[in-house]
Every structure is written in C-alpha cells, then in structure tokens.
A and B are shown apart, each in its own frame.
Chain A
C-alpha cells in the first residue's frame, strides 16, 4: 500500500476510535469524582460504587438479570439441539422451514415481539399469563436466531452423519450418540452463541419494561431509575454494566480466535 493511504487509514481509525471512546471514558471518569465542572475533575472518590454495592435493590437487580439471562438460554439451547438433531438426521426436508422460523425474530425484534405477546397472554389467568412466563418466552424467541446459527454452524463444521453412523455401529443409539459425541464437539460454538445471547439479553430494556412487573428489574431498568434519581449513582451503575458487557465480549473473542487457531492447526495436518 502507498504511504499516503496508510497515513489516512490511521487518521480515520484514530478519529473513529476517539469518537467511540469519548462518551465511555467521560462517564467512567465522572463516576470516580465528586465534582466535574471545569476541565479537570476534582475529588477522587469511590463513594458511588460503595453506595450501589450496599444497595439491596441494585444487588437484587444483578441477581435477577442473571436469572432472566440464563433460564431462556438453557431452554433455547436444549430445544434447538433436539430440534436440529431430529431435522438434520431424520427429516432433512424440514430444515428449510426450521431455518425460516428461527430467522423471523431478526425482523420483528423487541418492541413488536413484546407487545404481541402482551396481546395474546396478558388477559388470561393461566400460567402462560404470568409475567415471568411471558418474559422468558419472549427472551427465548429473541435469542433464537443466534443460538440456531451457532449450533447449525457447529454441526456443519463437523461431519455429523459419519460420526453418528460410527457411534451407531459401536452400539449406541443415535440420540445418545448425538449428546455424547456431537454435542461435545460443537461445544465451543454453543458457548460462543450463548454468550452472544447473554450480551443481547443483558442489554435488553424494552422487553423487560413491557412484559415484567415492577418488582422484576434487570440492570438496565435499574440504571434507568437511577438516572432519574442521581447521575452520580447512575454513573457507577453504568460502569458496572459496561464492565460486564466488555467481559462477555472479551470471552467471546478469545473463544472465537482459539477455535479459528484450532481449525488452522487441524487444516495444516
């Protein structure tokens, strides 16, 4: 590449990086100081963090976030694994339809999904109309495309039918072999896609706002309420949320790069 284009590339990347980092860094600094009215903030303090970590409401919201993230992901993974097993091994013709059904949530997204679930269930009085049931149902659907893609791609990367046949010859039933042989082989793919799903659910505000009752709060809802009370406290909540988000992203990236490395190594053999 020519020198001029290299310089301009670096300028563009620096500008975008700075632009993306400003709101983030500014809020982090804001959370660590008592007063920021001039150029330089004054009075370093950890009081904001102390305050939120001694606040039971905040700790409850953390716990509830974890709960409403993990349950839908476990359900969706199991359901998609079973479904994909049956469809790819026994009914390949249905694969197309399964894919379409799994991709629909991409286009409807949070707002429409949550209100349509409200229409269907809010008035009833069965277990289906429970706020928690509606929320978990909606979350399962919203992460469906990611979980489906992760598992599907994992299955494509290994020679599933051959492995299953081999296991069958050794006297295992196909279903058992699927969970004993195939699932461990695509575990990285499943982990990556469920972490992506965690990221998605962790950032959700609209679905939980529309579907859950006021005593179920995730961290986003907590941040929204804290914002109305005090921006100092909210800035600490913000930093905790961002740290968790970064941690999730970092794990995804390491897992992905490790699995590509493995692929390259295996390919080289």
Chain B
C-alpha cells in the first residue's frame, strides 16, 4: 500500500511530461480540422466583392433567395432522400435474406457486398456510362430488341444519378444491417408462431422494432454518404448539374470566377443539414432503445 502511494505521487509529478506525447495529435487536429472549420464559418459571413466587410448575412440571404442555389439544395436533398430510402429498403430485404439463409448463396452474396462496398465515385460513373450511356452496352441491346423503358432511359439526368447513388448505398447499408439482424433471437420467432402469429406479425411487432435503432443509425450514415458524394456526380455531369457538393467545389476551384465566401456559406448550410440529421438520429435512438434498459 505504502509503496503504491509513493509511486502514485512520483508518477503524478512526471505524468505532465507525457502531455508532450499528445502534442502531435493536438497539432494535427487543430491545424487540419478545427482551424479550417472555424475559418470556414468565419469566411461564410464575409463577402467576395467587399473584402472589408467582416460580418454580413448576405451570402445566406443569397443562397435562400437565388433559384440556382435553391435548386442545388433541393436536388441534393431529393437524390439523397430517395437513394437513402430505397437503399435501406433493399438493405433490409437483403440483410433479412442473409440472416435467414445459410450456405452458398449467402457466402456469394456477402463476398459481392464486400467487394462492391468501395465501388463508387469516378469508377462507378464510368461503369454506368459503359452500360447505360448513350452508346452503352445495355442500351444497344435494348435498341435491338426494342425494350422501350431502357431505350428512353437517360443516364445524364437526375434519374441516372439517383440510380447510381442507390447502387453505392446498397452494399454499405446491407453490410451495416446484417450484424443487427443477428440480435434477433430465434426463440422470439418460435414464440410468435406458437402464439399463432404469422411471419408478417413477427416482423411488424418484433423484428422491426428491435432493429429500429440500427435502422436509424444506418439511415443517417447513408444520408451523409449520399449528401457529401461528389465524384460520382461530377464524373457523370461535371458542373452541369446543381448539387450542394458540386456547387461548393466549383466556388473554390474551377474555370469560372471563384466565390470562396459564398462557397463557405454553402458548406455551412450543408453542415447544418448534417447536424439536423444527426440530432434527429440521436433523438430517435434514445427513444427507440428505451425498451432495452427496461
């Protein structure tokens, strides 16, 4: 006991030296994460045309009153929401299928999910151009056999973009949901059947409520993933399609005149959207996990 006390005393005096080892971490985080973000927020209140103005809300007013910026926000939210909802529905079905089955189908399915989980951005856009672009492989086959809905499908629109976003959401969301399904115990299903419940009963009253927290946290990951995606849209449509990340990048780097202060305000808007989603998610997680502590 005595020995330990002495040791504690000395280590208390020397332990502050160890803070030095924390310095590289602090340096990295301050220089490349915190300071840039703070500068971004400060800059969003400045004006591109009048550098002497330090605080003005003009950028924000402009964003919410100019049609092209409104459209960027609208397009971003629309594509993000559609791809997130469709992604989670397919992921739910896929993860449930993987949960209920064993054997070859399952292992092939899991391998393909893992393989394609990093398939996004420029390569994805390119692959879609090869199959569904104007001279795409599937397009040509459809032309030969007169399959109308593929013939009329235009990849270079928000529909095409939504389709690609759904594509990259599926592997990610399914892989995130599969572990959650393992929390559903076989006995619950047996109990449900003994009490005369159907499969639908089981999923509506037991399965989905148990999965809700995981479903919502997956939803917020998907939302962030789609909202912030840049490369897929840029590789397909360059700056010709209004989306928040595309507009933000274009106001800093590009051939046309850059508008960094306005871009900063757009970035802040995008971060606020993310924060709202995270807050909603936290709120729902708190509500839906209550049963666990009971």
Contacts and interface: CB of A to CB of B under 8 A. Distances in A.
B24 A82 contact: yes
Interface string B218-249: 00000010001011001100000000010011
Contact of B274 (A23, A107, A144): A107
Interface string A218-254: 0010011001000100110010011001101100010
Contact of B230 (A17, A104, A119, A206): A206
Contact of B127 (A138, A144, A238): A238
A13 B36 contact: no
Nearest to A227: B126
Interface string B95-131: 0111011000110110011111111111110111111
B19 interface: yes
Contact of A116 (B40, B114, B274): B40
Contacts, number: 245
A27 B265 CA distance: 39
A174 to B, nearest CB: 8
B252 A120 contact: no
Interface stretch (A4-12, A51-59, A154-162): A4-12
B216 interface: no
A20 interface: yes
A14 B24 contact: no
A223 B126 contact: yes
Contacts of A242: 119, 123
Interface stretch (A32-40, A42-50, A180-188, A261-269): A32-40
Interface of B is mostly: helix
Interface in A91-119: 91, 94, 98, 101, 104-119
A109 B228 contact: yes
A120 B248 contact: no
B57 interface: no
Nearest to B278: A107
A30 B137 contact: yes
Interface of A is mostly: helix
Given A79-B28, A137-B32, A111 B131 contact: no
Contacts of B228: 109-112
Contacts of B121: 203, 205, 220
B116 A20 contact: yes
Nearest to A199: B118
B24 A20 contact: no
Interface string A65-85: 000000000011011101101
B32 A138 contact: yes
Contacts of A13: 94, 97-98, 101, 105-106, 108-109
Contacts of A19: 167, 170
Contacts of B124: 23
A76 B32 CA distance: 12
Nearest to A111: B245
A111 B115 contact: no
B271 interface: yes
A85 B115 CA distance: 34
B283 interface: no
B43 A119 contact: yes
B141 interface: yes
Contacts of B32: 117, 137-138, 140-141
A36 B130 CA distance: 10
A23 B231 CA distance: 17
Interface residues of A, number: 87
Contacts of B128: 23
Contacts of B112: 16-17, 20-21
A14 B275 CA distance: 37
Contact of A119 (B174, B234, B260): B260
A14 B106 CA distance: 9
A120 B15 contact: no
Nearest to B22: A86
A83 B105 contact: no
Given A20-B116, A209-B253, 18 more contacts: A13-B101, A13-B109, A16-B94, A16-B112, A17-B112, A26-B138, A27-B127, A27-B130, A27-B131, A91-B15, A108-B271, A112-B267, A140-B28, A144-B33, A175-B18, A205-B121, A206-B245, A238-B127
Interface of A: 1-2, 5-6, 8-10, 12-14, 16-17, 19-24, 26-27, 30, 36-39, 75-76, 78-80, 82-83, 85-87, 89-91, 94, 98, 101, 104-120, 128, 137-138, 140-141, 144, 175, 199, 202-203, 205-206, 209-210, 220, 223-224, 227, 231, 234-235, 238, 241-242, 245-246, 248-249, 253
16 contacts: A9-B100, A13-B94, A17-B109, A20-B116, A27-B127, A104-B33, A110-B230, A115-B249, A116-B36, A116-B37, A141-B28, A175-B18, A220-B121, A227-B126, A242-B119, A249-B118
